[in-house]
Structure 1
Amino acid sequence: MTDKAVIRREDIELLAPAGDWECMKAAVANGADAIFFGVEKFNARARANNFKMEELPEIMRFLHRYGVKGFLTFNILVFEDELRDARVLVDACIEAGVDAVIVQDLGLVKMIREMSPDFPIHGSTQMTITSPEAVEFTKPFGLERVVLGRENNLKQIKKIGEQAKLPMEVFVHGALCVSYSGQCLTSEVWGGRSANRGECAQACRLPYDLMVDGVQKPMGDIAYLLSPKDLAALDLMPELIEAGVTSFKIEGRLKSPEYVANVVSKYRRAIDKYFEGDESEPSAEEVRELQQSFSRGFTHGFLEGTNNKKLVDGTFPKSRGVYLGRVEKILRDGVVCTIEAPLKRGDGLVFDAGDPTKKEEGGRVYDVRRSGTKLEGEVPEGERIEIVMGRSDVDLTRLHEGDRIWKTSDPALDKRLRSTFETEKPYRTFPVAVTVEGREGAPLRTIWTDLDKGSTVVAQSEMPLERAEKRPLGREVLEEQLGRLGGTLYRLEQLTVSLEGEVIVPKSELNRIRRDAAERLEAMRELPPKYTRLQGAGALAPKVSFKADPEPVTSPRLTALCRTLEQVKAAVRTDAAMIYADFEFIKQFPDAIAVCREAGKPIALATPRIHMPGENGYHRNILNLKPDAVLVRNTGALYYYLRERAEKPGEKHPLLIGDFSLNVSNHKTVELFREAGLDWVTPSYDLNIQQMVDMLRMADTSRLEIVIHQHLPMFHTEHCVYCTFLSEGTDYTNCGRPCEEHRASLQDRIGMSHPVRVDEGCRNTVYNAIEQSGAEYLSEFKELGVPSYRVEFLEENAEKVQEVLSLYRSALDGRIGGSEVWRKLKATNQLGVTRGQLVR
């Protein structure tokens, strides 16, 4: 554990969400140190009300007035045609004095650094930063802090902090994504609403049937196999502080101001308790109030390590509030229940019969009785009572004994929370020190120092001090008049009086001095920070060409990604220029290498999508196998391989090919990764055909490879479906490895079964059941100079591998058109084939 003595209260930040002005005020009023918010464009909460760009100066004045920082969320991928608008928004942020932008797109990071060397950038959780190496990769770009992946546990967080030595921001409360942030393509695949564009359709909250080896597994009332509970780390705050976390982030830009007020005030208290030496646990009432604002059930997420059984409940996908108990008896006007939480008239309830897809009964509590006698006020938990419901609200004939009851709203709590920010008083006050000087015949001089900011103003009387005939100006009068700071941001904390002789000035003049000083100090708090601007920088320059490798590509090449040894053996018998091996377990790689070596084919080995602390052994093993190339899927792994190159310059190193998961969606990102040392770059799967063409026109295409055919990977998750639902275990140490014996898939509402595959780190990828083909766009890509095209296989047999590669080879050579490839694929595929996101 970190020594408490070296952790300073002022180094710890409570970071709150704000989707609108009310939420922002609720956060400030309840103790947030910083706020994150979005404007109408370029943020990962497209459905939030969001602010307008022209409001930035007003927002920052309001926040800085109260000593609160404001971070703008810019946490989406930026497409080529949006770079100019993105530049305008960054410029507005610099001008308004925004304290930092939270960025996902590394191309945007590059553009910001071309505009200003010191404007603060925070690496979003969408960057999928989960290891010290991933943090190190960002350091040349001057990031001020990183937001770690929600899958990192306490030990890993501590290790990242100790090794990488960059401030860390961690989510402590709110909704959890089942997929790694920045690595979820489900909404994109199914509806063209990309999670990397702030348009997540929450496919993880839908019901699925679990198919095991092609047969549906009976699951009872468990249908929401990918819907996690909500994160609540209130009781882990001491451990997180001592692990080196400096910023504690609350999720919820789509939530109500009451939610913001509630959650911020609870975490404010938890942080303050730590520094007061109070080691008491959060009270049951505090936890209940948090559940009341929003809860799908609370979990520590991954903070204490992976426990698949605790992460997903599976019986409901939406907020339930506070668990009240079960229906014990149904009356003519209500139900009998032994309540497990306090209840009073006016509270809202819902009756849970175990199938949230059907209409659920619920409404307001009309009355609470004990044995027919009406009870006043709030009834404490533990009592067996009669809950009277309005029969116009609740159809009591649809209820059953044993149904769970949830308290979904508490108007009294909401009223109390609103009162914290619906007030005319300032939300915060700050200490001020005043020095008073003067002598007869000279003006009274007062020096006011804002002890929070350190700023100082001098305010003088407009008339000279006169000799006092009766009551000379003394400390008592000055304290009373200058201390009347109600309605301002200040409270008088220190007063120093240095008056020569017995002098006097009218009280009206003291009042004027006080008002003038307070107004000027407040205005100084609102001044924006100044950042360096580089003239004419960040402009969209012409294509940058990079030094080609010694083997130029003269005609379009075809490569094949294989996930079984059978596929590798089939692919080497084609003219594929390179074989990628993407196997579930690293122990299968040597066989694939042997097959390729015998056939004289170059082979690339794929890394996992995620890189966690302590996982470099995987990459060491890859290098020991001496592949011709490595398919790099994350910045942590990329940093590892680039460091190996730098440390061993005389050795032969594999080519480094950046995969789709690096989220390259504009030419600036292409440049950044090529400058960093990637030999080849694969564009993001978020691009549709127009966005792809726009990027190709601006980028150096000579080392781009487009994936032209694949089963799109939708969810990529630390949550293991095999462990959760096919074993008694909680993680890889005790699950019995059902993934080695069975094949699972998730069947959606229209009957499509989406395969679930594991990797060496026991992470799951859910693949789209239907293949995607971009064959119809091949001619456009070729015209724009793309030299390499990848076909990715999932479950295909050897015959299918050769047939598909032959089709694409014919199309690349111009013997058949892309539309004919499409028609033939559609005819031979049982489930058909899709154009996927490319068509939109």
Structure 2
Amino acid sequence: MAPTAQKVASSTTSALLRPELLAPAGDRDCIRAAIENGADAVYFGLDRGFNARARAKNFATEELPEIMRQLHSRGVKGYVTLNTLIFPSELAEVERHVIELAEAGVDAVLVQDLGLARLVKAICPDLAVHASTQMTLSSSECIDVAQELGIERVVLPRELALDEIRLIRAATTMQLEVFVHGALCVAYSGQCLTSESLGGRSANRGQCAQACRLPYDLLCDGKLVETGDQKYLLSPQDLAAYELIPELAELGVCSLKIEGRLKTPEYVANITRHYRQAIDEALAGRAVKFPPEEVEAMELSFSRGFSPGWLKGCDHKMLVPAISSDKRGVLLGTVEYVRNGRVAVQLAASIKRGDGIVFDCGRAEDDQQGGRVYEVYQRGRSLTEPVNIGVAELTFAHGAINFEEIQPGGEVWKTDDPELTNRLRKTFAAGVINRRVPVDFAVTAHEGQPLLIRATAEGRAPIEVASSQPLEAARQHVLDEAMLRTQLGRLGSTPFEIRNLQAEITGRPMVPLSVLGKLRHEVVKKLTATMEQVPERRIIRASALSELRATLPVDATPAENDAAPQLHVLCRSLAQLNAVLKCAANSVYVDFADIREYRAAVELAHEASAKIWLATPRIQKPGEAGIFRALSKHGADGVLARNLAGLRYFVQQGLPVVADFSLNCSNELTAQWLDQQGATRISPSYDLNREQLLELVAAVPTKWLECVIHQHMPMFHMEHCVFCAMLSPGTNKNNCGRPCDNHQVALRDRMGIDHPLTADVGCRNTLFNAVPQSAAEVVPALLAQGVRHFRVELLEMASRQEEQQILQTLELYRRLLRGEVTGREVWSKLSAANRVGVTRGTLEERRHPLAII
């Protein structure tokens, strides 16, 4: 195991910034594990909800004051996750919740929702707000916009490479936090709509169903591609960036984050312990290189295979080997033979009695052979110590293994090590104190005056204690600095330790040991009270939300509400655009993979006297602002902005801008802020159901809104490129040969549904739901409340027959807006026309049955 090194401050003279080590906590044992193994801060959620790990145990709100006292008494910060989207009806409850957090002394809240960030700052300007990675702030331009909300720190997307982080660091003053270990989401956080699309379980509401971890088949140009044992096409390996800690520290990253609020306390202890060592090594100027047994120890706590993620750039084949999606632990070796109730394994890692293993029998991960090792033999001798080389014969309890399922050459995985688990538990057992807070002492000892001790714990105000009597002249044992250090340093049963001591001694003073002991106890008591003290904060306890809502403008005038409804149509190819313009569409959006076609699209639209809006990519990373400049040259009538940087850029260019669904507007506070940023209209978040959408419509001027009423849900939006990983010998966009230009690809789920996959101008992939969704039944209610802008989004058109379907779709929605057909007629008729059916999706209480989860 890595040595314990749990000091709050390092005495190193390294010029590197000392980054915070931030650990996850799903329960009280995890908190103790994080503290005692070297975390500088922990993050956790509460049972009120509003956090992105609804499946975690989370903590009762009533526990919060005690949790914060526990953390602060040990010099550890506590951050609470409020990183879900907030619906209008929830704002009042969230307001009360934020007040509780501020009063309890929480050090910061992690927020995804733009409107919630506004609300937190209105309630308590002194409470730090950290932008969750789900806010998708992937460039300095995006961060600049969000910084105006009063955000102090940004948790960067996991998809950024070190060079991109360096560019961001050079262009912003914002504190940057980076994930360094744990599970990787294949989709951009905050941009994954898979669980919502397929089963109404929104990842933006903490209910991710992990569809990325399921097997998929690959289709290329309509034909099934044989992928062998590569079935888990969207399941990345886990992130393990311990060797990159020196580079991240050099970049000036302020916090290194471990993922894992659903993990065990042993996992928290194990991973925190190793990253504590890695940070200390980096600050001492040494390379971080763990020996194989330490890497094995980390893998045993949880691992789908370790990788540097995106930090070293895109290597799609490395990131997603696609052969597994579950925790497999450590590759123990391969089967040599099965004989007489023993399995011989050519070892690649260590094994001993009691370890748990599993055999890869070439079947589903939940249907493998495995068990706990009963005995280990080598050369006919039973071993009591671990062995890691050669061939070892393993035996198991009677009936635990079906040996007929195990074949020579199969992989064997070590999944559990009870001895390691026990060692880890001991690091955070009751009464254990590994982490200590350094204390600096300044002592004044003048003969004839009281002894004065001034003590300062790291990051806290100093405290003072003094003896009740003046110091007498010594007859024998004169007080000296060595005696002071010895006596004041007796802090073993406390969470403190002496670091520096300065002593000013005049005359020949004497101090009884009993007096020094009493003063030491007083010092500890006062230091503890100082550490646990709740900071004084300005808190608006009753009116912050009402004051923000009072600034919302009144709704549209009757004349505006009487305006004819406008149908906008989004096209994804020139062929679609031609088909749409033939049926007299007067407002079109284009979202093309090849933005060089935008010029032709603008010309076509203007020839047909239609207005045309160009869609930006959903993600803008460092060095990609040139895409915005290219879009601005084509003479379009407006822009559909899918990130904050695009919104800011095109507003400054004087173009009308629609803020798209990807900006996750789910309440009136977010809508107002986007309006203040210059958005012409706002497309509400796809996480809103029927009632929540109508609540938003009732809360804001309806002229702000443009509702998408027909679409194929963009489920996964990924930096990972399946085209490159599976259809190219290359590893990234520089050497892949761009198979996306020449092939149509789909992923087939376990229900046999083929979901189309596309690549955008940045080579980012989007997997679209094959089943279109219609909000037709809610349209009459939207019209009645004054909404006048609606959008239909098309996916693809490969045949003349599909052109006729497009024309029929648009005609049905036009008739719906005129009140000539009902919503049920629209989606039922489209179901017959499309043959694959139309679901009512996110805008209906009864969701479409879960397709693959």
TM-score of the pair, normalised by structure 1 = 0.94
Query: Cα distance 1:542–1:333, how it changes in 2: closer, same or farther (>3 A)?
Result: same
How many angstroms apart in 1 are the aligned matches of 2:643 and 2:466? Answer: 62
SS of 1:408's equivalent in the other structure is: strand
The answer to whether the Cα contact below 8 Å between 2:333 and 2:347 also exists between their aligned partners in 1 is: yes
Q: Note the C-alpha offset of 1:621.
A: 1.1
Moved more, 401-410 or 569-578: 569-578
Moved more, 562-571 or 72-81: 562-571
Structure 1, residues 38-82: CA drift from partner, whole Å, max 9, x if none? 111110000011112222221221111111111111111111111
How many angstroms apart in 2 are the aligned matches of 1:733 and 1:37? Answer: 40
Q: Note the C-alpha offset of 1:258.
A: 0.9
Query: Cα distance 1:727–1:518, how it changes in 2: closer, same or farther (>3 A)?
Result: same
How many angstroms apart in 2 are the aligned matches of 1:509 and 1:307? Answer: 65
> What letter matches 1:319 in structure 2?
K
> Are positions 1:823 and 2:823 aligned together?
no
Structure 1, residues 561-598: CA drift from partner, whole Å, max 9, x if none? 11122221222233534100111111221222121111
SS of 2:528's equivalent in the other structure is: helix
Query: Cα distance 1:471–1:509, how it changes in 2: closer, same or farther (>3 A)?
Result: same
Residue correspondence of structure 1 range 783-822 to structure 2 within 5 A: 783-796=784-797, 797-822=802-827
How many angstroms apart in 1 are the aligned matches of 2:748 and 2:551? Answer: 45
Moved more, 671-680 or 118-127: 118-127
> What letter matches 2:741 in structure 1?
E
How many angstroms apart in 2 are the aligned matches of 1:470 and 1:219? Answer: 86
Query: Cα distance 1:9–1:22, how it changes in 2: closer, same or farther (>3 A)?
Result: farther
How many angstroms apart in 2 are the aligned matches of 1:716 and 1:748? Answer: 17
Query: Cα distance 1:616–1:827, how it changes in 2: closer, same or farther (>3 A)?
Result: same
Moved more, 571-580 or 220-229: 571-580
Which of 92, 117, 127 matches 2:125?
117
CA RMSD of aligned residues (A): 2.2
How many angstroms apart in 1 are the aligned matches of 2:114 and 2:599? Answer: 34
> Are positions 1:738 and 2:739 aligned together?
yes
The answer to whether the Cα contact below 8 Å between 2:549 and 2:669 also exists between their aligned partners in 1 is: no
Moved more, 607-616 or 525-534: 525-534
How many angstroms apart in 2 are the aligned matches of 1:7 and 1:714? Answer: 45
Which of 74, 81, 96 matches 2:82?
74
SS of 2:729's equivalent in the other structure is: coil
Moved more, 613-622 or 482-491: 482-491
SS of 1:327's equivalent in the other structure is: strand
Aligned position for 2:685: 684
> What letter matches 1:537 in structure 2?
A
Q: Note the C-alpha offset of 1:364.
A: 0.8
Residue correspondence of structure 1 range 493-508 to structure 2 within 5 A: 493-494=499-500, 507-508=513-514
How many angstroms apart in 2 are the aligned matches of 1:496 and 1:566? Answer: 80
Aligned position for 1:231: 239
How many angstroms apart in 1 are the aligned matches of 2:195 and 2:13? Answer: 45
Structure 1, residues 781-830: CA drift from partner, whole Å, max 9, x if none? 11121110100111243222211111111111111121211221122221
Aligned position for 2:91: 83
SS of 1:362's equivalent in the other structure is: strand
SS of 2:358's equivalent in the other structure is: strand
Percentage of matched positions with identical amino acids: 45
Aligned position for 1:727: 728
Aligned position for 1:320: 328
> Are positions 1:512 and 2:518 aligned together?
yes
How many angstroms apart in 2 are the aligned matches of 1:833 and 1:58? Answer: 51
> Are positions 1:272 and 2:280 aligned together?
yes
Which of 393, 408, 414 matches 1:386?
393
How many angstroms apart in 1 are the aligned matches of 2:186 and 2:226? Answer: 22
Q: Note the C-alpha offset of 1:290.
A: 1.3
How many angstroms apart in 1 are the aligned matches of 2:81 and 2:15? Answer: 27
Moved more, 510-519 or 691-700: 510-519
Q: Note the C-alpha offset of 1:546.
A: 7.9
> Are positions 1:55 and 2:63 aligned together?
yes
> Are positions 1:256 and 2:264 aligned together?
yes
Aligned position for 2:40: 33
How many angstroms apart in 1 are the aligned matches of 2:220 and 2:476? Answer: 96
Aligned position for 2:8: none
Structure 1, residues 283-318: CA drift from partner, whole Å, max 9, x if none? 222211111111111111111111111011111110
> What letter matches 1:584 in structure 2?
A
> Are positions 1:458 and 2:464 aligned together?
yes
> What letter matches 1:28 in structure 2?
I
> What letter matches 1:779 in structure 2?
P
Q: Note the C-alpha offset of 1:221.
A: 1.4
The answer to whether the Cα contact below 8 Å between 2:186 and 2:212 also exists between their aligned partners in 1 is: yes
How many angstroms apart in 2 are the aligned matches of 1:583 and 1:36? Answer: 40
Aligned position for 1:182: 190
> Are positions 1:347 and 2:355 aligned together?
yes
Aligned position for 2:612: 603
SS of 1:177's equivalent in the other structure is: coil
How many equivalent residue pairs? 824
How many angstroms apart in 2 are the aligned matches of 1:113 and 1:672? Answer: 14
Query: Cα distance 1:594–1:455, how it changes in 2: closer, same or farther (>3 A)?
Result: closer
Query: Cα distance 1:628–1:295, how it changes in 2: closer, same or farther (>3 A)?
Result: same
How many angstroms apart in 2 are the aligned matches of 1:116 and 1:7? Answer: 36
The answer to whether the Cα contact below 8 Å between 1:315 and 1:354 also exists between their aligned partners in 2 is: no
Aligned position for 1:377: 385
> Are positions 1:95 and 2:100 aligned together?
no
Aligned position for 2:175: 167
> What letter matches 1:489 in structure 2?
P
> What letter matches 1:747 in structure 2?
R
How many angstroms apart in 1 are the aligned matches of 2:310 and 2:484? Answer: 57
Q: Note the C-alpha offset of 1:710.
A: 0.5
How many angstroms apart in 2 are the aligned matches of 1:507 and 1:237? Answer: 46
How many angstroms apart in 2 are the aligned matches of 1:728 and 1:495? Answer: 63
> What letter matches 1:523 in structure 2?
A
> What letter matches 2:151 in structure 1?
L
Residue correspondence of structure 1 range 297-308 to structure 2 within 5 A: 297-308=305-316
> Are positions 1:538 and 2:545 aligned together?
yes
The answer to whether the Cα contact below 8 Å between 1:455 and 1:521 also exists between their aligned partners in 2 is: no
Aligned position for 1:216: 224
Residue correspondence of structure 1 range 115-154 to structure 2 within 5 A: 115-154=123-162
Aligned position for 2:781: 780
Query: Cα distance 1:517–1:817, how it changes in 2: closer, same or farther (>3 A)?
Result: same
Aligned position for 1:285: 293
**Structure 2 portions without partners, runs of 5+:** 1-11, 846-853
Query: Cα distance 1:552–1:332, how it changes in 2: closer, same or farther (>3 A)?
Result: same
How many angstroms apart in 1 are the aligned matches of 2:434 and 2:733? Answer: 49
> What letter matches 1:448 in structure 2?
R
Moved more, 152-161 or 277-286: 277-286
**Structure 1 portions without partners, runs of 5+:** 646-652
How many angstroms apart in 1 are the aligned matches of 2:445 and 2:783? Answer: 80
Aligned position for 1:627: 636
The answer to whether the Cα contact below 8 Å between 1:660 and 1:684 also exists between their aligned partners in 2 is: yes
The answer to whether the Cα contact below 8 Å between 1:703 and 1:787 also exists between their aligned partners in 2 is: no
Structure 1, residues 336-387: CA drift from partner, whole Å, max 9, x if none? 11211111111110001222345111111111111221112111x2221111
How many angstroms apart in 2 are the aligned matches of 1:473 and 1:610? Answer: 67
Query: Cα distance 1:263–1:280, how it changes in 2: closer, same or farther (>3 A)?
Result: closer
How many angstroms apart in 2 are the aligned matches of 1:544 and 1:137? Answer: 21
> What letter matches 2:572 in structure 1?
R
> What letter matches 2:597 in structure 1?
Q
Aligned position for 2:702: 701
How many angstroms apart in 2 are the aligned matches of 1:316 and 1:721? Answer: 16
How many angstroms apart in 2 are the aligned matches of 1:27 and 1:8? Answer: 26
How many angstroms apart in 2 are the aligned matches of 1:788 and 1:397? Answer: 64
> What letter matches 2:274 in structure 1?
K
> Are positions 1:839 and 2:844 aligned together?
yes
Structure 1, residues 705-760: CA drift from partner, whole Å, max 9, x if none? 00000011100011111111111111122212111211110111111100001111
How many angstroms apart in 1 are the aligned matches of 2:733 and 2:327? Answer: 30
Query: Cα distance 1:687–1:454, how it changes in 2: closer, same or farther (>3 A)?
Result: closer
Residue correspondence of structure 1 range 552-701 to structure 2 within 5 A: 554-642=563-651, 644-645=652-653, 653-701=654-702
Q: Note the C-alpha offset of 1:402.
A: 1.1
